[in-house]
Amino acid sequence: MPELKERFLKNRRGLCKLAFAAAVCAAALALTGAALGRTASAQQQTPEEKVYRVGTLQAAPTGNDVYLHYTGLVQPAATEQCTFGAVGTIRSIYVKEGDAVQKGQVLAEIDPDDAQRQADNLKRVAEQADSTAATAQKARDEAQKDYEKACEGANGDDLASAKSARDTAQASRDAKQAELDGYNARVEADRQKVAAAEEEVTTAQTALDAANQELETAKQEKAAVDADPGATEDAKEAAAQAVTAAATERDNAQKKLDEAAAAQTTATTALSASLGLAASAQTQLAALETELTARQAAYDALKGQGGDSAAANLQKQRLDAAESALSAAKSAQIAARNNYESAVQALGDCRLKAASDGYVIKVVGSEGGLATPLAPVMVLGSHEAVAQFGASQSDVRSLAVGQSAAVTVEGQEYTGVVKSIAVLPDETTRTYTVDVEIGGDTGDFYLGEMAAVKIGVGERTGTWLPLAVVMNDGEDYVYLVEDGRAVRRTVTLLDVSDDMVLVSGLENGGQVISEGMKTVRSGSAVSVG
Q: What is the pLDDT of residues 389-429, one digit of tens each?
A: 999 988 888 899 999 999 999 888 899 999 999 999 999 99
**Whole-structure pTM value:** 0.40
pLDDT-derived band at 8 (thresholds 50, 70, 90) equals very low
Of residues 365 and 306, the one with the higher pLDDT is 365
Residue at a domain's end among 306, 323, 340: 323
pLDDT-derived band at 490 (thresholds 50, 70, 90) equals very high
pLDDT-derived band at 158 (thresholds 50, 70, 90) equals low
The DSSP annotation for 130-198 comes to: HHHHHHHHHHHHHHHHHHHHHHHHHHTHHHHHHHHHHHHHHHHHHHHHHHHHHHHHHHHHHHHHHHHHH
Task: Specify whether 403 is located in the same domain as 421.
Answer: yes
**CA atoms of 373 and 365, how far apart (whole Å):** 12
Number of H helices, E strands in the chain: 7, 22
Task: Specify whether 393 is located in the same domain as 523.
Answer: yes
**CA atoms of 398 and 67, how far apart (whole Å):** 10
Q: Is residue 355 part of a domain?
A: yes
Asked if pLDDT for residue 150 goes beyond 90, the answer is: no
pLDDT in tens, 263-303: 888 888 888 888 888 888 888 888 888 888 877 877 777 66
Share of the chain above pLDDT 90, in %: 35
Q: Is residue 339 part of a domain?
A: no
Say if residues 390 and 431 touch (Cβ distance below 8 Å). Answer: yes
pLDDT in tens, 434-474: 999 998 665 567 777 899 999 988 887 889 999 999 999 99
Asked if pLDDT for residue 11 goes beyond 60, the answer is: no
What's at 219, amino acid-wise? K
Q: Residue 153 has what pLDDT?
A: 58
Task: Specify whether 259 is located in the same domain as 278.
Answer: yes
DSSP designation for 308: T
Task: Specify whether 105 is located in the same domain as 196.
Answer: no
What's at 386, amino acid-wise? V
Task: Specify whether 167 is located in the same domain as 282.
Answer: yes
Asked if pLDDT for residue 307 goes beyond 80, the answer is: no
pLDDT in tens, 175-202: 989 998 998 998 899 899 989 989 999 9
Asked if pLDDT for residue 313 goes beyond 90, the answer is: no
User: Between the CA of residue 51 and those of 12, 472, 515, what are the distances in Å?
Assistant: 18, 24, 14
Arithmetic mean of pLDDT, 36-50: 55
Residue 127, Ramachandran bin (φ over 0: left; ψ between -120 and 50: alpha; else beta) = alpha
Task: Specify whether 191 is located in the same domain as 315.
Answer: yes
Q: Residue 29 has what pLDDT?
A: 36
Q: Which of 81-90, 241-250, 284-293, 311-320 is predicted with the least confidence, judged by mean pLDDT?
A: 311-320
Task: Specify whether 269 is located in the same domain as 363.
Answer: no
What CATH number does the domain containing 210 carry?
A: 1.10.287.620
Share of the chain above pLDDT 70, in %: 86
Residue at a domain's end among 361, 377, 393: 377
Q: Is residue 474 part of a domain?
A: yes
Asked if pLDDT for residue 21 goes beyond 70, the answer is: no
Enumerate the β-bridge partners of residue 486.
Answer: 481
Q: Please return the burial class of 239, using the count of CB atoms within 10 Å of its CB with bins 0-12, 13-18 and 19+.
A: buried
Asked if pLDDT for residue 305 goes beyond 70, the answer is: no
Task: Specify whether 215 is located in the same domain as 362.
Answer: no
Q: Is residue 189 part of a domain?
A: yes
Q: Is residue 333 part of a domain?
A: no
Q: Is residue 133 part of a domain?
A: no
Task: Specify whether 261 is located in the same domain as 184.
Answer: yes
Task: Specify whether 93 is located in the same domain as 195.
Answer: no
- Closest Cα to residue 294, out of 151, 162, 158? 162
Q: Which domain holds residue 467?
A: 58-73+384-528
If one counts the domains in the chain, the total is 4
Q: Which of 11-15, 113-117, 211-215 is predicted with the least confidence, judged by mean pLDDT?
A: 11-15
What CATH number does the domain containing 368 carry?
A: 2.40.50.100
Mean pLDDT of the chain: 82
Task: Specify whether 220 is located in the same domain as 283.
Answer: yes
Task: Specify whether 27 is located in the same domain as 66.
Answer: no
Say if residues 95 and 107 touch (Cβ distance below 8 Å). Answer: yes
Q: Is residue 483 part of a domain?
A: yes
Q: Is residue 199 part of a domain?
A: yes
pLDDT-derived band at 38 (thresholds 50, 70, 90) equals very low
Asked if pLDDT for residue 431 goes beyond 90, the answer is: yes
What CATH number does the domain containing 420 carry?
A: 2.40.30.170
Q: Residue 156 has what pLDDT?
A: 55
